[in-house]
Amino acid sequence: MDNLGLLADGLGAALTPENLMYAAIGVLLGTFVGVLPGIGPAMAVALLLPVTFGLEPTQAFIMFAGIYYGGMYGGSTTSILLNTPGESSSVMTAIEGNKMAKKGRAAQALATAAIGSFIAGTIGTLLVVFFAPILADFAVTIGAPSFFAIIVLAMVLVTSLLGESKLRGWISLFLGLTFGLIGMDLNTGQPRLDFGRPELGGRLDIVIVAVGIFALGEALWVAAHLRRKPLEIIPVGQPWMGKDDWGRSWKPWLRGTAIGFPFGAVPAGGAETPTFLSYLLERKLAKKKDEFGNGAIEGVAGPEAANNASAAGTFVPLLAMGIPVTATSAVMLAALTSYGIQPGPQLMTDHSDLVWTLLASLLIGNALLLVLNLPLAPLWAKLLSIPRPQLYAGILFFASLGAYAASQRAFDILLLLVFGLVGFMMRRFAFPVLPLIIGVILGPLMETRFREALAISGGDLDALWSEKLGVGLYVIAALVIVVPLVLKARRPSNPSDPDGTDGSTGPSDSDGSDNEKELVH
Partner 1 sequence: MKPTIVVGYSPDEFGAVGVERALEEARLRDARVLVVNASRGDAYVDEHFASTEQLRALEEQLSSSGVDCEVRQSFGHDVAEQVLGVIEETGAILVVLGIRRRSPVGKLLMGSVAQKVLLGAECAVLAVKPPR
Contacts with partner 1, residue ranges (CB under 8 A): 36-37, 82, 84, 226-233, 381, 384-389, 520-521
Rounded to the nearest 5°, which phi and psi values hold at 227? -100, 115
| 197 or 382: CB nearest partner 1 | 382
| 232 or 462: CB nearest partner 1 | 232
Q: How far apart are CB 20 and partner 1 at their closest, in Å?
A: 32
| 59 or 84: CB nearest partner 1 | 84
Rounded to the nearest 5°, which phi and psi values hold at 502? -65, -20
| 410 or 520: CB nearest partner 1 | 520
Asked if 282 and 249 count as a contact pair (C-beta separation under 8 A), the reply is: no
Asked if 307 and 257 count as a contact pair (C-beta separation under 8 A), the reply is: no
Q: Which residues of 113-123 are buried (b: 16+ CB within 10 A; e: fewer)?
A: bbbbbbbbbbb
| 219 or 336: CB nearest partner 1 | 219
Q: How far apart are CB 211 and partner 1 at their closest, in Å?
A: 22
Distance CA 110, CA 124 (A): 20
Beta bridge partners of 519: 228
- DSSP H or E stretch at residue 340: none
Q: How far apart are CB 109 and partner 1 at their closest, in Å?
A: 17
The answer to whether the Cα torsion of 117, 240, 31, 295 is positive or negative is positive
Q: How far apart are CB 424 and partner 1 at their closest, in Å?
A: 18
| 35 or 62: CB nearest partner 1 | 35
Beta bridge partners of 228: 519
Rounded to the nearest 5°, which phi and psi values hold at 184? -80, 140
| 150 or 219: CB nearest partner 1 | 219
**3-class SS at 191?**
strand
Q: How far apart are CB 86 and partner 1 at their closest, in Å?
A: 11
Q: How far apart are CB 107 and partner 1 at their closest, in Å?
A: 18
Distance CA 384, CA 106 (A): 16
Q: How far apart are CB 262 and partner 1 at their closest, in Å?
A: 35
Give alpha helix (H) positions in 105-242. 106-140, 144-161, 166-181, 206-210, 217-224
| 227 or 287: CB nearest partner 1 | 227
As a residue count, the chain comes to 521
| 202 or 389: CB nearest partner 1 | 389
Residue 12: CB atoms within 10 Å: 12
Q: How far apart are CB 110 and partner 1 at their closest, in Å?
A: 16
Q: How far apart are CB 131 and partner 1 at their closest, in Å?
A: 39
Q: Is 481 exposed, middle or buried (0-12, 13-18, 19+ CB in 10 A)?
A: middle
Distance CA 424, CA 341 (A): 32
Q: At what angle do helices 468-490 and 144-161 cross, to 10 degrees?
A: 20
